[in-house]
Amino acid sequence: MSNDILTQTDPRTKYKTPPHDEHMQDEPGTTSAMNIKPDHGENSYKGSGKLKGKKALITGGDSGIGRAVAIAFAREGADVVISYLEEDGDAKDTAKYITDADQKALLIKGDIGDEEHCKHMISLMVEEMGGIDILVNNAAFQQARKSLQDIPSEEWDYTFRTNIHSMFYLCKAAEPHMKPGSTIINTTSVNAYHPSDVLLAYATTKGAIQNFTSNLAQIEAEKGIRVNCVAPGPIWTPLIPATMPEEKVKNFGKNTPLGRPGQPVELAATYVLLASEDSSYISGATIEVTGGRVTI
């Protein structure tokens, strides 16, 4: 057996533990500006053809969890469309990992809170890639606020448009092009179970996403389309230093039983599972990847 198979690591110390000496950023944040770089599986994820011939769209695929999923999907044999807001440098970096895996990459820039843009993305993907087999609704907006009065009404609306309305727009636009065996994977959060005291708007949308997923799975079952979601715990991405208070960034992940934040690569295999035939009898489910944070 290879050394890779025999290697066993302590999950408490596999990655950096708090405190984090990280530069604060403006929202939405970029990977290149981070002092402590996340691990997206650039040097570790190895594919085995689980998604060969598939065509996937990943929102927020330029960085964080989305980048890790894009790398994994490409190395599993899928062509990948990356939807992103404005982070051109991060998006191009992710695209290179996809093409280095000998898969097609397509970058689409724009606001997924706009229904017309969502329709355009699906149309362009079908035209350029020839179809859509996997839709990963991953992009999200959050902004820490200490009180209800601190939340601007425009920000509340933007959070919902980005985090939950976009899922409706994209699922509705993609559904006519998805054949039996296609999959939809939504990203919810541990905040759906235990909402943070400074993320009222974000946590509310994450609860909605979980309900949306379980309900849509029942609707899509008659078409042979599976719908599931992943609930990450605290994951080290550019969104953290760009949207959280400095003290919370410093101690980010410390309140988990494993005592550290998760890295994007630690979620990649879960998305691959839900996108592949290995999960053919899983639909309407939520898989929690929370570092031990209890979700019941």
3-class DSSP assignment, residue 208: helix
Q: What's residue 295's pLDDT?
A: 85
- Which residues are catalytically annotated? 202
Tokens at 268, concatenated: 């990649």
Instruction: List all residues 6 or more positions away from 149 whose beta carbon is below 8 Å from its beta carbon.
Output: none
Tokens at 112, concatenated: 């997924």
Handedness of CA 215, 281, 271, 12 (dihedral sign): positive
Q: What is the pLDDT of residues 192-229, one digit of tens each?
A: 999 999 999 999 999 999 999 999 999 999 999 999 99
The strand pairing partners of 229, in sequence order, are 186, 286
Domain ranges of the chain: 52-289
b/e code 56-69 from CB counts within 10 Å (16+ = b): bbbbbbbbbbbbbb
Q: What's residue 6's pLDDT?
A: 61
| Sites in the chain below the pLDDT cut of 50 | 1-3
Beta-carbon neighbour count of residue 194 at 10 Å?
A: 14
Q: What is the Cα–Cα distance from 199 to 147, expressed in whole angstroms?
A: 9
Q: What's residue 5's pLDDT?
A: 52
Specify the CATH superfamily of domain 52-289. Answer: NAD(P)-binding Rossmann-like Domain (3.40.50.720)
E strands, the chain, are 55-59, 79-84, 105-109, 134-137, 183-187, 226-232, 286-289
Q: What is the pLDDT of residues 263-296, one digit of tens each?
A: 999 999 999 999 999 999 999 999 999 999 988 7
Whole-prediction pTM: 0.95
